[in-house]
Amino acid sequence: MKIFISGNGNISFEDFLKYYATPISQALEQDADAQFLVCEFRGTDILTLEFLKTKTALVQVFHVGSAPRYFPDKFKTYAQHWQLVGGFTSDASRDAAALEACTHFIATDFNSDEKRTSGTLKNIQKCLKLGKIRLDVSTI
């Protein structure tokens, strides 16, 4: 499994635990070789990176520019083995590359309404259109 993680920047820690930490943990229990494709935007991405740094070395961090905007501490963590995938010119091009590379995804949108479609909802729609498998607490 290559699991793309996507989510809103303003997620609460409680919602992260419920909608992300649980399915990530379940995916790791189900497949010890599961790989995680994570970006480096605030909110869900940062919480995911912090969560995964003591769980697995199988993480690719997709980033805009020459270096990630955020990266967790590498000292005595799996983050020292993570692969950086960078050089993207925008968040949209970065997300598109991670989305294309994944086979599965974990994403929950809290911000869209009738006036606004969030980037997270756009990623969910693209994943579903491409036939990526959605993982959440009910599907693992």
| pLDDT by position in tens, the chain (length 140) | 999 999 999 999 999 999 999 999 999 999 999 999 999 999 999 999 999 999 999 999 999 999 999 999 999 999 999 999 999 999 999 999 999 999 999 999 999 999 999 999 999 999 999 999 999 876 65
In this predicted structure, what is the pLDDT of residue 136? 87
Architecture of domain 2-134: 3-Layer(aba) Sandwich (3.40)
In this predicted structure, what is the pLDDT of residue 13? 97
136: left (phi over 0), alpha (psi -120 to 50) or beta: beta
The reported pTM is 0.95
Report how far residue 88's alpha carbon sits from residue 121's, in angstroms, rounded to the nearest whole number. 21
In this predicted structure, what is the pLDDT of residue 139? 66
Q: Is the dihedral of CA 131, 136, 138, 140 positive or negative?
A: positive
